[in-house]
Amino acid sequence: MKRCLPVLILTLAALAGGTSGAAASTACSTTLIPGSSIALPTARANGTLCLSPGPFSGPAASAARTGGPALQAPQSLKVGLNGGLTGWGPEAGETIRDSTGVRYARLNPLQEGSWSAARELVGKGIMPLVIYDPNLTEMAPAAVAAGVQSFVPLMRELGITEIELGNEVYFHGSTPPEYAAQYAAAHEALAGDGITLIADAWTDTPLPDGEWSQWERGGGWCVLLVQALGYVPDAWSFHPYGPMSADGFGSGVHRSGWATVPRMLNYMRTEQIYAPLNITEVGQPTYRGTDGNAAVSEAEQASDVTQYLTQAAEWGLASIYLYEGIDTPEGGYGLYAWPLRAKPSAAAFARTLAGLRATLDS
């Protein structure tokens, strides 16, 4: 599930539609709507390109384009977890559900081997985000389309409306053009089904000639993907593992982390490739596991969980899924240790979630 190199959902709606001052003074020759099949290079060549009014129109978008803060007041909020809610026995799942107040989860039916976990979650009042994650590398677009289409009957039955296409495909040999072809085929296959198809987002990425396409220079994985796709995906997913203060797009001193997220949002708006951004995995381990990532104390993890949820709301993210419910050998990312023991992060999660819900209800 987690990244191969060293959930909680907060769905945040946006401010009311409208136009920024810049948009009011500049006519748009093309309005680009996420998920619409408008040829991006052609649209740009024809003049001023604007995003449709919606999640990031108005003051928040104007602030983002000028480098200012892009804070938004959420109008609805979902919270979920990766792992821990199924597969550990009924007592563990019930304890985590009841103590955290979680109502959403992210899972992989192909990895689970069936849809029984999804059925169980829905039966307990928890809505899954499902991942379509076979080995996408070099998989024919037609096969990807058939695969996501096979999910539709059960998704419709269970009321599930989102598919994440692949998990960290950039770590498994996929290139932006290859992934774009797969996304396009899957998107066409799902047309009319009311399903949001979430594309993997990433940072700087290598080019075929060995050079790098960089966010800071108008490139990067997402820009190349949209150029190959010809339109902006329905939504993006991103996994900003790393130090809370890390804000880079590369490695070493330029590594990515939690602070990369607002920079990514600003670059997406600047490059006119914005679509709702979902943090479908993120977390801090309390011990070093098989992934080799440095550990933090349990108190630090709890503080980070509070920061994740609070800033996800401030930044207007579509969702955030914490990794994970219960510790696994990858590292101590869980809100709970095993045998089942709540870490301070479990209480921090529940407390912050309750506060966010109270804000929405007020």
Has residue 12 been placed in a domain?
no
**Chain segment 283-334, per-residue pLDDT in tens:** 999 999 999 999 999 999 999 999 999 999 899 999 999 999 999 999 999 9
Q: Is residue 10 assigned to a domain?
A: no
Average pLDDT, the chain: 83
Residue 47 binned pLDDT confidence (cut-offs 50, 70, 90)? very low
pLDDT of residue 360: 73
Is there a domain that residue 8 lies in?
no
Q: How many CA atoms lie within 13 A of 355 on its CB side?
A: 11
**What percent of the chain has pLDDT above 70?**
78
CATH number for the domain that contains residue 84 = 3.20.20.80
pLDDT digits (tens, 9 = 90+) for 238-290: 999 999 999 999 988 999 999 999 999 999 999 999 999 999 999 999 999 99
Which of 53-57, 99-103, 257-261, 357-361 shows the lowest mean pLDDT across its residues?
Answer: 53-57
Tokens of 142: 């037609």
81 domain-assigned: yes
Place of tokens 């093309």: 30
Lowest mean pLDDT among 35-44, 90-99, 110-119, 342-351: 35-44
Domain that holds residue 268: 21-361
Note the pLDDT of residue 75. Answer: 52
Mean pLDDT of 54-78: 41
User: Going by C-beta distance under 8 Å and a sequence separation of 6 or more, which residues neighbour residue 138?
Assistant: 173, 178
Give me the helix-helix angle, 90-100 and 344-361, nearest 10°. Answer: 50
SS3 131: strand
Q: How does residue 12 score in pLDDT terms, banded at 50, 70 and 90?
A: very low
Check whether 210 has a pLDDT greater than 90. no
**Phi, psi at 300, each rounded to 5°:** -65, -40
Q: What is the pTM of this model?
A: 0.82
- Is the residue at 13 inside a domain? no
- The number of distinct structural domains making up the chain is 1
Q: Is residue 161 domain-resident?
A: yes
Query: Which residues are CB-contacts of 136 (< 8 A; sequence separation ≥ 6)?
Result: 144, 165, 166, 169, 172, 174, 179, 182
Q: Does the residue 15 lie in any domain? A: no
Task: Tell me the CA distances in angstroms from 229 to 51, 85, 88, 179, 190, one per residue in order.
Answer: 17, 36, 40, 9, 16
pLDDT at residue 186 tops 80: yes
Under the banding of pLDDT at 50, 70 and 90, the label for residue 19 is very low
**Does residue 57 form part of some domain?**
yes
